[in-house]
Structure 1
Amino acid sequence: MSAAVLVERNLMIYKHTWYVLLAEIFEPILYLLSIGVGIGVLVGSVTGVTGGSPVRYAAFVAPALLATAAMNGAMNETTFLMFGKLKTDRTYESMLATPLSERDVALGEIAWAVLRGTLVSLAFLAVITALGLVESPWAILVVPGAALIAFAFATAGVVVVTFLRDWQDMQYIQLVMLPMFLFATTFYPLSVYPRPVQLVVQWLPLYQSIELLRNPALGVLSPRILVAAVYLAAMGALCLTVAVRRLGRTLAA
C-alpha cells in the first residue's frame, strides 16, 4: 500500500502538469503522418506479418509507433524525471523520512511509469483508430500489451538511472534508444535484413514489443505474440529484481 501512495502523489502532480504528456503523444503522431502516411503514399502496401496479406504501410507502421510510445512513456519517467528527483531535487530524501521504504519508492515509481506509458499508448491508439488504421478487433490485445511493454522498460529504466552520474550521461540512453527505434522493424519488415542481422534484431526488446502489438493489430494471432510476451515479462521480472536492490543501495548511500 505504501507504493500506492507514491502513485497517488504523482497523479496529483500530473493533474496540474498533464500537458507535458502531450509531447509523448504528438511525437508518434508526427512520425505516423510524415512517414506512415506521407511516405506510405509512395510505398503503398507492404507484406503483412508472418507473410500474410499485404497491408497499408501506415497500418503496418502504426502499431510499431504505439509500442515505441509505451516504451518512451515509461523510460522517460524512470530515467530523465527520476534522475532529477534523485540528484537535483532530492525528492526521495524527504520521502524516506516518512514510513516509505526504498523498496516502496522503487515499486511506486515503476507502477506510475507503467500507468503513464499505458495512458500515452491508449491516447495514440485512439488516434490511429480514428484514422482507420486498426485492421482487426483483436487490436484490443494492444491494451494489456502496452502495459507489459511499459513494465519491461520502466524496470529497465530504474536499473539504468542508478548508474547515471550526471545529466551528460543521458546521451548514452539516447545512443541506445534511437538506433533501436530505427532498426527494430519500426518502419520496414524484418525480411529486409540479411539473416545474421535478423538474429540480432530479434533480440532487441523493442522488436519484441512491436511483435506483441503489430500481430494482433493486423489480425494475426501467432505464437510470436506469446514469445514476445514471455520475453518482455522475463525482462521486466529480472530488471525489477535488480532495480529494487540497486535503488535501495543508491537511496541508502
Structure 2
Amino acid sequence: MTVPLSRHRRPALPLRGLYGGRARSVVRRAARAHRHQWLDLLAGLVEPLCYLLVFGATIGALAGDMETEFGPMSYTAFLGPGLLASAMMSSAVADTSFKVLFRLRHSRLYDVLLATPLGPVDIALGEMGWALVRGAGYAGVFLGVLTALGEARTWWALLALPAAVLTAFAFAALGMTVTTFLRNWKDLDLISLATMPMALLSTTFFPLSAYPAALHPFVEAVPLYHAVRLLRGLCSGAPTPDLLLNAGYLALIAAVGVLVTGRRLATLLLD
C-alpha cells in the first residue's frame, strides 16, 4: 500500500521550515542526474561558440576595429563578451524554468525533497547552484577560446569568470522566481518572449550608439545589458569604476530572486 506524502509535514518553525543548510545536496543530485547527459550539457556551449567563430570571421573581417566606450576593439573582441553573457542567461533560465516547472508541477520531486531536512530555500539555492556550476564550465571554455583567438589577452579577463557566474546567478534567480508563478507549460512561452528580445536589445551584437535614442533607457534597464557591459569592460582590459554598478545590479537581482523563490516554494509546497 502506498501512502501519499502530505504537504503539511513539518512544524511551522521559520528557520527549519525554510532553510536547512543543505543546498549542496540538491546540487549533487543535479550533478548525478546529468552524468550521462553530455549532449545536453554541450548544447548550451556550441551555439555561442559557433556565433563567435562565424560572425568573427565574417562581420569581423568587414568591420575591422570599432570604437567603444572601453576603447578600440575588434568586432570579435566586442562580440565575445556579449555572447558569453547571453549564453549565461540562456543556460541559467533553461535550468530554472523548464526543468523546475516539471519538478514542481508534474514529477512532484520537491514534495519528496521537503520530506527530508531540506527546506524551500535549500531547493531554490540548490537549483540555482547547479545553474552556476554549469555556467562556470561554459564560461571557462568560452573565455579560453576567446583568449586563444587573441581577443582577451589581459589580466582583467580573469575577473570575467566570476562576473559570468554572477550573471548566471542573477538569471537563475530571476528564472526560478518567474517559474514559481507559472501555471502550465503554455506559460513558458512568456519566458521565451522575454529572453529573445533581451538577447537582441542588450548591445550583444551592436554598441548602444547603434540603437535609437528612444530605446536607450529601455536597453539600460534590461538585466542582460548590465551583464554584457560588465563582461565587455573586463575583457577589454580597460574597465571603468562604474562597472561596479553593473555588478551590483546583478547581485541585487540574485538576492531578491533567492528570497522571493524561497517564499513562493514555501507557499506552494508547505501551505
TM range (shorter): over 0.9
Q: Residue 35 of structure 1: SS of its match in structure 2?
A: helix
Shift in Å, 1:31: 1.4
Report the AA paired with residue 130 of structure 1.
A
Give aligned-pair identity as a percent.
43
Unaligned runs of 5+ in 1: none
Q: Residue 184 of structure 1: SS of its match in structure 2?
A: coil
Partners of 1:226 and 1:102 lie apart in 2 by 31
Shift in Å, 1:248: 1.6
Name the counterpart of 2:43.
23
Name the counterpart of 2:67.
47
Aligned alpha-carbon RMSD (Å):
1.5
Shift in Å, 1:142: 0.3
Q: Residue 202 of structure 1: SS of its match in structure 2?
A: helix
Partners of 1:88 and 1:243 lie apart in 2 by 18
Report the AA paired with residue 119 of structure 1.
G
The CA deviation string for residues 81-107 of structure 1, in whole angstroms up to 9 with x for no partner, is 111211232211221222222222112
The CA deviation string for residues 138-183 of structure 1, in whole angstroms up to 9 with x for no partner, is 1001011011111111111111111111112111111110111011
Name the counterpart of 2:256.
238
Q: Does residue 180 in structure 1 map to residue 198 in structure 2? A: yes
Point out the structure with max Rg over C-alpha.
Answer: 2
Aligned pairs (5 A) from 1:1-253: 1-50=21-70, 52=71, 54-252=72-270
Contact 2:173 2:254 in 1 (8 A): yes
Report the AA paired with residue 43 of structure 2.
A
TM-score w.r.t. structure 1 length?
0.94
Partners of 2:107 and 2:38 lie apart in 1 by 20
How many pairs does the alignment contain?
251
Contact 1:212 1:224 in 2 (8 A): no
Report the AA paired with residue 159 of structure 1.
T
Partners of 1:81 and 1:122 lie apart in 2 by 24
Partners of 2:241 and 2:268 lie apart in 1 by 40
Partners of 1:121 and 1:81 lie apart in 2 by 21
Partners of 2:232 and 2:57 lie apart in 1 by 17
Shift in Å, 1:216: 1.1
Q: Residue 146 of structure 1: SS of its match in structure 2?
A: helix
Moved more, 214-223 or 32-41: 32-41
Unaligned runs of 5+ in 2: 1-20
Moved more, 242-251 or 207-216: 242-251
Higher helix share: 1
The CA deviation string for residues 195-229 of structure 1, in whole angstroms up to 9 with x for no partner, is 33212211110000001100010111202311101
Contact 2:128 2:169 in 1 (8 A): yes
The CA deviation string for residues 25-83 of structure 1, in whole angstroms up to 9 with x for no partner, is 00101211232332222222211334x2x211011100111111111221111111111
Contact 1:73 1:120 in 2 (8 A): no
TM-score w.r.t. structure 2 length?
0.88
Shift in Å, 1:13: 1.7
